[in-house]
Amino acid sequence: MSEILAKTEAIAKKGKALGADEVIAKTIFGRYRQTRFSNNQIDITVAWNDYVTDVALAWNKRLVATQIRNFQNTDRIMEQLFNLAKVSKENPMYGGIAKGTFKYPKPNADKKLQELENPSAYVIEAIEAAKKEAGTEINAGGILFTKYEDVYLVSSEGPAGQDARSAIELSIRVFSQRDASGHSVECCSTLKDFKPFRAGEKGGKIAELAKNPKQGEEGKYDLIFDPLFFGSMLGTWGGMASAYSVMIQLSVFVNKLGQKVASDAVTLRDKPAEYSVNNRAFDDEGFPIQENAFIENGVLKTYLHNTSTAKIFKTKTTGNAGLVQPTPWNIEMDSGDLSKDELFGEVKRGLYLTNTWYTRFQNYATGDFSTLPRDGIFLIENGEIKQSWKDLRLSDNILRLLSQITGISKERQHVHWWLEAEPPSLSPYVLAKDIQMTRPK
């Protein structure tokens, strides 16, 4: 057992010795690096080192939590935490944490991502690729982010394990004109698969196509979503599949288990696989992560659970425990049988939407919402991109959007971007019919 794992275990044992019913301690030593750039130049490179142990402690169905950052006197902190539990209130819904011992796969983290020799080289590679597509006069901005985390978890209920998680992400937005832009990302868990030029190239291509946009026309359209845009929608559905969201009505999936919630073409899974920037071996209870198809051929099959919510819904944990509530890790949409070009060929008159932001709801329970497409918006006629448009808003219902999906591409891209395409996903090009677009008046 490593020294840090032993220290983490000591924290959990101390909680138990004080009289706690259950204790989980999770230590993360994280090294995070980010290079921010705009106007084709590097603005700043930042580094943050974080040393923290998250502790959750339950006593008589009272759940309390803390984060330890000073490891000189962990006993005293645990005593204070236990005292807090004693004056806290009972949560009758609390159903315990995962029990048992589990085997976890060996971590696949890339040690090269602890510290890149020259992060700016990747940024320059992406900008140069964009210039090849959209010309030297472009204005590009974005971030290059790397993560390397050593994770140690010990639960009083048996689970104990070690994980290492790494990621590298590049996000680049390319402006070919003031109101013409393209955005793309390159996200990997290891350096070997990371190709920054791909993001620059795609962002540049969209920016070039987006030149001289016309005011968009309000109406109902068949829409083709780029993987980056659709990653944002997948993240929304993933969040709504959390049993916690269901319990507080922040979801369109309330009381819909076993029901048809999407077209037959739709299968959505939560799966923090090796390729994902959010990959992991176990959840925050130490339960091994698993693949959960929460929508299968259009039918809602399960919510995403921790041990407590699983008990409430009379089922088993799905390995989605965060410290307090279940959370999606990485959403995958099953691929379809059409190529991207074939998918475009299905559209007589419609729009290709490349990215979006600011998704907001009138009502999470009914799903009425709007989201603002940004970067390239293109009119498609007879399968071909005909014109660049601007200033349109997708204003419809997110449950209806699921039911209007008629085509899914074979190609999929791993996307993650800021708060918008979050959590990360494996996202295809998607065709949805007859969706309402509005514009300002």
Partner 1 sequence: MLANVGVGENSLERDIVDYALDLARSKKVEYAEARAQSTNHDELVIKNGTLDAFLSTIDSGFCVRILADGGLGFASTNKWTKDEAKEIVDTAYKFAKIAGRKDRITFADEKGVETKWSVEQKEKIEDIPPEKKIDELMEVDKTLSSQEVKVPGRIMGASINLIEKYFVNSEGSIISSFVPKIGVFAFITVVENGKPEQAYKQFGRSGGWEAFNEWKVAEALLHDAKALQKLIKEGKAVKPGKMDLVCGTEVTGIASHESCGHPIEADRILGREMSQAGRSFIYLGGPYWIGTRIGNDKVTIVDDPTVKNSYGYYEYDDEGIKARRRYLYKNGIINEFLQNRETAAKLGTRSNGSSRSISYDREAIVRMANTFLLPGDWTEEEIIEDVKYGIYMKSFTEWNIDDRRFNQRYVGREASLIENGELKHPVARPVIETSTKNWWSAVDAISKEVGYDAATCGKGDPMQGVPVYTGGPVIRLKEVYVK
Q: How far apart, in whole angstroms, are the C-alpha atoms of residue 290 and residue 273?
A: 9
436: contact with partner 1 by CB under 8 A: no
To the nearest whole angstrom, how small is the minimum distance from the Cβ of residue 344 to partner 1?
Answer: 26
Q: How near is the Cβ of 334 to partner 1 at its closest, in Å? A: 30
User: d(Cα 329, Cα 421) in Å, to the nearest integer?
Assistant: 12
How far is it, in rounded angstroms, from Cα 223 to Cα 20?
A: 54
Residues of span 131-190 touching partner 1 by CB under 8 A? 139, 141-143, 171-173, 175, 178-179, 183
Q: Are 439 and 220 in contact (CB under 8 A)?
A: no
Residue number with CB closer to partner 1 (17 or 365): 365
Among the listed residues 327, 322, 285, the one whose alpha carbon sits nearest the alpha carbon of residue 96:
285
Binding test (CB under 8 A) with partner 1, winner from 4, 5, 28, 65: 65
Cβ closest to partner 1, residue 181 vs residue 267: 181
Q: What is the largest CA-CA distance in the chain?
A: 71
* CA distance linking residue 184 with residue 374, whole number of Å: 12
46 near partner 1 (CB under 8 A)? yes
Cis check for the bond before 423: say yes or no (omega within 30 of 0).
Answer: yes
- Per the CB < 8 A criterion, the answer to whether 281 and 104 are in contact is yes
| Binders in 393-432 for partner 1, by CB under 8 A | 393, 395, 418-419
Q: Does 387 bind partner 1 (CB under 8 A)?
A: no
Among 1, 17, 19, 39, binds partner 1 (CB under 8 A): 39
Decide if residue 80 touches partner 1 (CB under 8 A). yes
Told to check if 43 binds partner 1 by CB under 8 A, we report yes
Check binding of 212 to partner 1 (CB under 8 A): no
CA dihedral 9, 60, 254, 435 (to 10 degrees): -40
In the complex, the smallest distance separating the C-beta of residue 51 from partner 1, rounded to whole angstroms, is 6
Query: In angstroms, rounded to a whole number, what is the distance separating the alpha carbons of residues 52 and 30?
Result: 8
Query: Do 387 and 368 meet the contact criterion of CB atoms below 8 Å apart?
Result: no
Pick the closer one to partner 1 by CB: 101 or 249. Answer: 249
Q: Which of residues 238-267 bind partner 1 (CB under 8 A)?
A: 247-250
Please name the residues in contact with 211: beta carbons below 8 A apart, sequence gap of 6 or more.
Answer: 176, 177, 180, 388
When the beta carbons of 3 and 192 are compared against partner 1, the nearer one is 3
In whole angstroms, the minimum distance from the beta carbon of 327 to partner 1 comes to 14
Amino acid identity for residue 289 in this structure:
I
**Stretch touching partner 1 by CB under 8 A, among 14-22, 58-66, 313-321, 379-387:** 58-66
Q: What is the 3-state secondary structure (H, E, C) of 8-61?
A: HHHHHHHHHHHCCCEEEEEEEEEEEEEEEEECCEEEEEEEEEEEEEEEEEEECC
Q: Which one-letter amino acid corresponds to residue 111?
A: K
Number of residues that bind partner 1 (CB under 8 A): 85
Q: Least distance from C-beta 26 to partner 1, angstroms?
A: 14
Binding mask 297-336 for partner 1 (x = CB under 8 A): ---------------------------xx-----------
SS3 141: strand
The answer to the question of residue 2 lying near partner 1 (CB under 8 A) is no
118 binds partner 1 (CB under 8 A): yes
Q: How many Å apart are CA 313 and CA 309, to the nearest integer?
A: 6
Among 264, 348, 358, 386, binds partner 1 (CB under 8 A): 358
Q: Which stretch binds partner 1 (CB under 8 A): 46-54, 154-162, 234-242, 291-299?
A: 46-54
- Residue 192 sits in the site that holds partner 1 (CB under 8 A): no
Q: How far is the CB of 65 from partner 1 (least distance, A)?
A: 5
- 5 near partner 1, rule: CB under 8 A: no
d(CA 81, CA 23): 11
Q: Does 374 bind partner 1 (CB under 8 A)?
A: yes
Q: What single-letter amino acid sits at 278?
A: N
Q: Figure out which of the listed residues 311, 391, 411, 433 binds partner 1, where binding follows CB under 8 A.
A: 391
